[in-house]
Amino acid sequence: MKITELVESFAKPVVEANGCRLWDVEYVREGSERFLRLYIDKDGGVDIDDCEKVHRAMDPILDEKDPIAESYHFEVCSAGLERALKRPSDFEAFMGSPILIKLYRPRNGLKEIPAILQGYEDGRITAQAGKETVTFEKSEVALVRLRVEF
């Protein structure tokens, strides 16, 4: 089991007990440092107090379960307005929403395409980009995130 899956298995009930939903678990290396991050969400938005409550509740559990051998920094963050969409359920929840699609290689000279999410099936994304409907294969897409329009 991957570290992120293991942490998710015991973090989800803790996050929910604190009135939030677990959006994502990330374990990454940034420079010489490692970070374990929980991204949380709730109706009406997450504030610093929510992050602090979840952090305090998770600290002793992480110490006890010790899922990561090397040293790391633990952070609890809001999923944010421009959160990444990763799982099929993420795409389903935000159908019809403005998104930004980041591609590995440019398409029509663009690596970032603002669009409206129209469909998602087996990793294939269908979106309204300007006046045309475009489909992106999973292998083309580096990242999809929500896009805030003002």
Query: If phi over 0 gives left and psi between -120 and 50 gives alpha, with beta otherwise, what is residue 59?
Result: alpha
Q: Give the pLDDT of residue 149.
A: 81
Q: Give the pLDDT of residue 113.
A: 96
Q: What percent of the chain has pLDDT over 90?
A: 95
pLDDT of 150 over the 80 cut: no
Average pLDDT over residues 68-72: 92
Q: Give the pLDDT of residue 68.
A: 92
Domain boundaries, the chain: 3-78, 88-146
Fold of 3-78: GMP Synthetase; Chain A, domain 3 (3.30.300)
Distance of CA 88 to the CA centre of its chain: 12
Average pLDDT over residues 72-97: 94
Fold of 88-146: SH3 type barrels. (2.30.30)
Average pLDDT over residues 116-139: 95
Contact status, residue 127 vs residue 140, Cβ threshold 8 Å: no
pLDDT of 78 over the 80 cut: yes
